[in-house]
C-alpha cells in the first residue's frame, strides 16, 4: 500500500504542477475559457485526491493471485475489476522487476509474458517474488522436459 501511495503522490505532484502552470501562464491562451478550465482542473484534482486516498486499501484488499500446476490466475482492480487467466503452457518469459520506490520498500513485480500479451503480479515482497518466479520457472521447465522425448516443435 505504501508503495502505491508514494507512486500516486508522485503523479499527483505532477498534476499539481500542471495545474499551477495552467493558472500562471495560460490566461491569454485560454481567453474566456480560462476560469472554466481552472474549475475543471480543480474538480479533477479533488476527484483524483479522493481516489488516491481510497484506492490503495481497496486494491490491496481485492488483490488475489493463484498459481496452480497449469495456470496463473490474477484478480485485481479498484473500480474496474479484472480477472486474468494465463495457462502455464503459454508462458514465454518470467521477469522480476523493481522500480526505485519498490527498491526502497523491498518489493518487486513479477511479469509473466506470453506470445500475445502479459500479466503482472504486483507489489510482492522480494523473497516472495523470487519464490513465485522460481515456481513458474520450475513449472515451465517440467513441462518442457516432459516434451523432450517427442519430436521437436514446429
Partner 1 sequence: MTDDTGAPARHGEPIRCHPSIVVERSLSGIVVLAVLVMQLGRGALPALLAALFVAVVLFNYRQWSRTTVRFNETDVVVERNTLFKTKKTLPYAKMASVNINRGVLNRVFGTARLQININSGSGATVPEAVLTFSEDTAEGIRAEMAQRLYGSEPVSDEEEPAEPTVAFSPVDVIVHGLFSVSTYQTVFGFAFLAYSVFQLHLSAGVGGTALVSLLMFVVVQVAPSVSLISHYYNYRVYRRGDTIYLEHGLIRTYKTSFAVSRINAVRVKRTLAARLLGRSCIEAEVVGLASGSGESLRPALCLLKDDASQQRLLEDLVPEFVYEGAREKQPEGAKGVLRVRAAVASFVLALAMVYPSIAVYRATAALPGTLLPFALPFATAAVVLVIWYATRVSYRITEFGTDSNLFTFVNGAVDRETVVMNYDRVQTVRITEGPVARFFGVARGQVYLLSAIGGASVGSGYFDESRLAAIGETVMERIASGEYDYRKNSV
Ramachandran region of residue 140, left (φ > 0), alpha (ψ -120 to 50) or beta? alpha
- Tell which one of 31, 100, 149, 153 touches partner 1 (CB under 8 A): 153
28 binds partner 1 (CB under 8 A): no
116 counts as binding partner 1 under rule CB under 8 A: yes
Single out the residue of 57, 99, 117, 141 in contact with partner 1 (rule: CB under 8 A): 117
Site string for partner 1, 63-92 (x = CB under 8 A): -------xx-------xxxxxxxxx-xx-x
Q: Do the strands 71-76 and 64-67 form a parallel or antiparallel pair, or are they unpaired?
A: antiparallel
Distance of alpha carbon 124 from alpha carbon 101, whole angstroms: 13
- Residues near partner 1, by CB under 8 A: 33, 36, 70-71, 79-87, 89-90, 92, 114-119, 147, 150-154
Amino acid at each position: 500500500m505504501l508503495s502505491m501511495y508514494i507512486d500516486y503522490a508522485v503523479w499527483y505532484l505532477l498534476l499539481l504542477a500542471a495545474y499551477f502552470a495552467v493558472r500562471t501562464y495560460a490566461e491569454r491562451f485560454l481567453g474566456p475559457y480560462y476560469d472554466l478550465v481552472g474549475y475543471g482542473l480543480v474538480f479533477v484534482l479533488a476527484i483524483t485526491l479522493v481516489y488516491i486516498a481510497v484506492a490503495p486499501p481497496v486494491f490491496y484488499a481485492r488483490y488475489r493471485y493463484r498459481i496452480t500446476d497449469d495456470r496463473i490466475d490474477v484478480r485485481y482492480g479498484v473500480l474496474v475489476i479484472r480477472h486474468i487467466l494465463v495457462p502455464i503452457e503459454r508462458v514465454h518469459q518470467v521477469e522480476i522487476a523493481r522500480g526505485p520506490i519498490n527498491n526502497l520498500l523491498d518489493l518487486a513485480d513479477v511479469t509473466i509474458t506470453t506470445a500475445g500479451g502479459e500479466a503482472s503480479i504486483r507489489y510482492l515482497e522480494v523473497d516472495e517474488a523470487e519464490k513465485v518466479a522460481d515456481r513458474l520457472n520450475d513449472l515451465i521447465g517440467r513441462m518442457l522436459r516432459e516434451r523432450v522425448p517427442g519430436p521437436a516443435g514446429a
